[in-house]
């Protein structure tokens, strides 16, 4: 590592790589694929004025995948450059930390926390904030990386050296997410979270590497030991 280079999981990396957010074949390529998969988990809004809070929105990659579903898309991130890009793609930007989101209780019909929980050093605080923002009956949508030896090898050791994989140093293996702890934290805030393992389609990935595909679909797998999605509703009914 050169002097002044950011270390692992340093937020400064996102400023240094800001030009990569909307390059579909850049170092954030897989984040595009994951955003598309996350968008499929978000249903159409069922009421006027519905709000989707996108925690760790980065450059706003989720925006095209929820456009037209009836939400006011609010993006929360620490990166000024990411928020500027998100605004350009129709996201209402809010500068804030996933552990202390500057939005009111129960403001969101949907909270999306995509590829962010493995970057926070206080999982309970981040989960509590995501659940706090949800209205009763609101939907929590998550995708993140599991705290397993297999994930450390696949998502860090291997992926940081493959086309479409993560930028080097973007993840800290110590912050990968314990699935049991995640579900327990969500349950303690009234959200029963169901998990599903996913991975890139191998056929799509090979076609993408060969330059014959523009994107890569994420497909389900039997294990949540590497990359997984989570989906759950907040218990209770809204008054009024």
Residue 20 in domain: yes
Q: Do 197 and 223 meet the contact criterion of CB atoms below 8 Å apart?
A: yes
Residue 208 in domain: yes
Whole-number percent of the chain with pLDDT over 70: 95
Residue 66 in domain: yes
Residue 4 in domain: no
Q: Which pLDDT belongs to residue 2?
A: 34
Residue 117 in domain: yes
Which structure tokens are listed for 139? Answer: 């939907």
Count CB neighbours of 196 within 10 A: 14
Mean pLDDT of all residues in 39-63: 98
Residue 217 in domain: yes
Q: Which residue has the higher pLDDT, 45 or 15?
A: 45
pLDDT bucket at 160, cuts 50 / 70 / 90:
confident
pLDDT bucket at 169, cuts 50 / 70 / 90:
confident
Number of domains forming the structure of the chain: 1
Residue 238 in domain: no
Mean pLDDT of all residues in 84-113: 98
Which structure tokens are listed for 100? Answer: 């202390």
Give me the domain span that covers residue 131: 12-233
pLDDT in tens, 5-36: 456 888 888 898 999 999 989 889 999 999 99
Whole-number percent of the chain with pLDDT over 90: 82
Q: 3-state DSSP call for residue 155?
A: helix
pLDDT bucket at 50, cuts 50 / 70 / 90:
very high
Report the CATH number that the domain containing residue 146 is assigned in CATH. Answer: 3.40.50.150
CA distances from 13 to 17, 62, 152 (A): 6, 20, 20
Q: Which pLDDT belongs to residue 152?
A: 94
What is the pTM assigned to this prediction? 0.93
Residue 1, pLDDT above cutoff 50: no
Mean pLDDT of all residues in 37-48: 98
Q: Which pLDDT belongs to residue 162?
A: 74
Residue 205 in domain: yes
Please provide the DSSP assignment of 23-91 as one string: -TTSTTHHHHHHHHHHHHTSPPPSSTT-EEEEET-TTTTTHHHHTTSS-EEEEEES-HHHHHHHHHTT-
């Amino acid at each position: 590592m050169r002097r002044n280079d950011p270390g692992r999981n340093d937020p400064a990396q996102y400023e240094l790589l800001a030009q990569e957010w909307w390059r579909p074949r850049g170092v954030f390529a897989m984040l595009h694929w994951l955003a598309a998969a996350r968008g499929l988990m978000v249903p159409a809004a069922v009421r006027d004025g519905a709000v989707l809070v996108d925690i760790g929105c980065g450059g706003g990659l989720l925006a095209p995948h929820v456009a037209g579903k009836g939400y006011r898309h609010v993006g929360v991130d620490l990166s000024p450059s990411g928020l500027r890009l998100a605004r350009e793609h129709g996201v209402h930007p809010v500068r804030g930390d996933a552990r202390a989101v500057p939005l009111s209780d129960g403001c969101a019909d949907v909270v999306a926390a995509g590829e962010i929980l493995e970057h926070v050093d206080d999982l309970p605080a981040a989960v509590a904030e995501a659940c706090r923002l949800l209205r009763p009956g609101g939907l929590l949508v998550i995708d993140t990386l599991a705290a397993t030896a297999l994930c450390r090898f696949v998502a860090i050791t291997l992926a940081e050296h493959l086309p479409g994989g993560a930028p080097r140093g973007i993840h800290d293996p110590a912050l990968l997410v314990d699935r049991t702890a995640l579900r327990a934290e969500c349950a303690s805030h009234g959200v029963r979270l169901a998990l599903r393992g996913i991975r890139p389609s191998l056929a799509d990935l090979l076609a993408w590497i060969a330059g014959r595909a523009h994107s890569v679909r994420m497909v389900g797998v039997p294990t949540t030991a590497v990359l997984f999605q989570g989906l759950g509703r907040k218990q209770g009914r809204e008054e009024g």
